């Protein structure tokens, strides 16, 4: 099929929920993608923070292939070795006690919200518990996840949402404290807001939230679906804040291409929340997904992926800061590790136009919020890749 035929066939049959770029990607290698005409692209998106190990990691691919040849699915009525292994490795890596595997990030958030309500229900038997979420947050597109997503534009056509969600201002502790009452069962936030525009939580904000939750027996849910899995420079971003969540959601890079997510919790939450009959999934935690998760975690450890993040991230940050100093349409740079955003003065230049121009120049980038170009490269990039990205990006400013 030609490029045009592929796009035409897709557009004739897919539900039109995405405005896709007119590119048909065919394969990848390392930190590069290739379209169906053979054109090469340097990838600073990684399938939205998914392909942490880059493309074609042979160890990862062999592990997934070996599992497909054995068995891909068995149902949650039984055990499998990959399930046991992935559960053990992911709880160790996240320093959480128990895990439930899902098929996506949104589904992980659904589970986290259910666990929080059940925990509160077990305490007081009430059915009117409230959850505090943040403005400009993003937690997914299913009803529960959408209900805690702080973007009215995404929610409005689908109202009513699940009830009793209150929105506070990210990094404004008083706005959160003002919403707490005897019905509050959880606070949910992204340790680094992703879709909303790459805003890391202030250390002081997160510490105070943790204390507020402890004082009121409110569960702290951290959504690290985007910022987790090494991207921040620690295995999970919360580890740089000296606090621990009660519930943690993960997805994206946890499967590095195999669709999988998870919600994890500490023993306190696990001991008094979801029990048999409360929650389930057919595919979640199947041997194929878990073989991928287990191998990803082993590769992270053995290939010292996080060391590379901490080696390259300061270089990327410095290079982006140089751009801010040089171009008048750039007004800032922020982020944590290899999750970074370049903030545009949208009166002068539109991030969306830069992304389109970058694609023409063989560089894959995406936007975040209304005024940010987002950088989410595979975690295996080198400083030379950063230099090449900067060269392609600056060319995209002028073309
Ligand atoms: C992507 C994302 C989600 C949703 O994950 P899906 O796999 O797309 O359902 C939730 N929370 C955050 C922070 C995300 O970045």
Domain at 377, CATH number: 3.90.1150.10
Give residue 245 CA to ligand 1 midpoint distance, Å: 18
**Structural tokens at position 105:** 């990030």
For the four alpha carbons of 247, 313, 258 and 97, in that order, the dihedral sign comes to negative
Decide: 377 in ligand 1 pocket, CB within 6 A. no
Q: Which CATH number is 254's domain given? A: 3.40.640.10
Structural domain count of the chain: 2
For residue 222, the SS3 value is strand
Nearest to 297 by CA among 43, 82, 32: 82
**Structural tokens at position 180:** 């707490």
Residue 152 lies in a domain: yes
Say how far apart CA 254 and CA 295 lie, in whole Å: 10
Taking the CA of residue 142 as reference, the ligand 1 atom at the shortest distance is 9
In terms of domains, do 155 and 177 share one? yes
Query: Which residue, 254, 274, 302, sits at the end of a domain?
Result: 302
**CA distances (Å), origin 245, targets 75, 183, 259, 264, 352:** 29, 20, 24, 10, 35
Task: Report which protein residue has its CA nearest ligand 1's atom 11.
Answer: 139
Give residue 105 CA to ligand 1 midpoint distance, Å: 5
In terms of domains, do 254 and 388 share one? no
In terms of domains, do 291 and 358 share one? no
**Structural tokens at position 366:** 């995406």
For the four alpha carbons of 330, 170, 46 and 304, in that order, the dihedral sign comes to positive
Question: Which residues lie closer than 8 Å to 162 by C-beta, 6 or more apart?
Answer: 113, 143, 144, 147
- Verify cis geometry, omega within 30 degrees of 0, for the bond prior to 160: yes
Nearest to 228 by CA among 293, 273, 172, 176: 293
Residue 309 lies in a domain: yes
Pairing of strands 330-336, 339-344: antiparallel
**DSSP code for 21:** -
In terms of domains, do 308 and 298 share one? no
Distance of CA 340 to the CA centre of its chain: 13
Residue 61 lies in a domain: no
Residue 63 lies in a domain: no
**pLDDT given at position 327:** 98
Say how far apart CA 260 and CA 104 lie, in whole Å: 5
Say how far apart CA 349 and CA 294 lie, in whole Å: 43
Residue 151 lies in a domain: yes
Give 3-state DSSP helix, strand, coil % of the chain, rounded to 5. 40, 20, 40
Decide: 132 in ligand 1 pocket, CB within 6 A. no
Query: Which residue, 302, 325, 352, sits at the end of a domain?
Result: 302
**Structural tokens at position 174:** 């008083």
Decide: 260 in ligand 1 pocket, CB within 6 A. no
In terms of domains, do 270 and 326 share one? no
**Structural tokens at position 197:** 């525009």
What is the residue range of 202's domain?
71-302
Query: Which residue, 276, 302, 328, sits at the end of a domain?
Result: 302
Decide: 170 in ligand 1 pocket, CB within 6 A. no
**DSSP code for 54:** -
**pLDDT given at position 399:** 78
Give residue 138 CA to ligand 1 midpoint distance, Å: 7
In the chain the first and final C-alpha atoms are separated, in Å, by 31
Q: Strand pairing partners for 335?
A: 340
**Structural tokens at position 136:** 């400009």
The pLDDT tens digits along the chain (399 residues) read 999 999 999 999 999 999 999 999 999 999 999 999 999 999 999 999 999 999 999 999 999 999 999 999 999 999 999 999 999 999 999 999 999 999 999 999 999 999 999 999 999 999 999 999 999 999 999 999 999 999 999 999 999 999 999 999 999 999 999 999 999 999 999 999 999 999 999 999 999 999 999 999 999 999 999 999 999 999 999 999 999 999 999 999 999 999 999 999 999 999 999 999 999 999 999 999 999 999 999 999 999 999 999 999 999 999 999 999 999 999 999 999 999 999 999 999 999 999 999 999 999 999 999 999 999 999 999 999 999 999 999 999 997
**Structural tokens at position 24:** 């048909």
**DSSP code for 55:** B
User: Radius of gyration (Cα) for the chain, nearest Å?
Assistant: 21
């Amino acid at each position: 099929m030609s490029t045009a035929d592929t796009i035409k066939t897709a557009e004739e049959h897919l539900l039109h929920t995405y405005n896709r770029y007119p590119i048909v990607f065919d394969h990848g290698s390392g930190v590069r993608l290739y379209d169906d005409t053979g054109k090469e692209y340097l990838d600073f998106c990684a399938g939205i923070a998914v392909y942490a190990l880059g493309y074609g990691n042979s160890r990862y691919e062999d592990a997934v292939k070996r599992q497909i040849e054995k068995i891909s699915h068995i149902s949650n009525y039984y055990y499998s070795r990959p399930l046991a292994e992935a559960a053990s490795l992911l709880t160790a890596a996240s320093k959480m006690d128990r895990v439930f595997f899902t098929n996506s990030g949104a589904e992980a958030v659904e589970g986290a919200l259910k666990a929080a309500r059940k925990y509160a229900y077990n305490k007081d038997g009430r059915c009117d518990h409230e959850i505090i979420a943040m403005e400009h947050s993003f937690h997914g597109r299913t009803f529960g996840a959408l209900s805690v997503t702080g973007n009215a534009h995404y929610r409005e056509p689908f109202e009513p949402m699940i009830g009793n969600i209150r929105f506070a201002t990210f990094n404004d502790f008083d706005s959160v404290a003002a919403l707490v009452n005897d019905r509050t069962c959880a606070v949910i936030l992204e340790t680094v807001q992703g879709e909303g525009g790459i805003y890391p939580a202030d250390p002081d904000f997160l510490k105070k939230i943790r204390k507020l939750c402890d004082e009121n027996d409110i569960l702290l849910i951290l959504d690290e679906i985007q910022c987790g899995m090494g991207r921040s420079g620690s295995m999970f971003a919360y580890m740089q804040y000296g606090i621990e969540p009660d519930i943690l959601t993960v997805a994206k890079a946890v499967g590095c291409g195999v669709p999988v997510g998870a919600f994890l919790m500490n023993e306190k939450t696990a001991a008094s929340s979801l029990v048999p009959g409360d929650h389930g999934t057919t595919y979640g935690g199947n041997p194929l997904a878990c073989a991928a998760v287990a191998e990803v975690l082993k590769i992270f450890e053995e290939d010292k992926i996080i060391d590379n993040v901490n080696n390259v991230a300061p270089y990327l940050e410095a290079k982006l800061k140089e751009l801010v100093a040089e171009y008048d349409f750039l007004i800032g740079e922020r982020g944590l590790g290899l999750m970074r955003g370049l903030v545009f003065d949208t009166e002068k230049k539109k991030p969306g136009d830069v992304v389109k121009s970058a694609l023409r120049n063989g560089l894959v980038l995406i936007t975040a919020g209304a005024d940010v170009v987002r950088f989410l490269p595979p975690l295996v990039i080198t400083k030379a890749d950063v230099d090449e990205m900067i060269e392609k990006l600056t060319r995209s400013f002028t073309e």
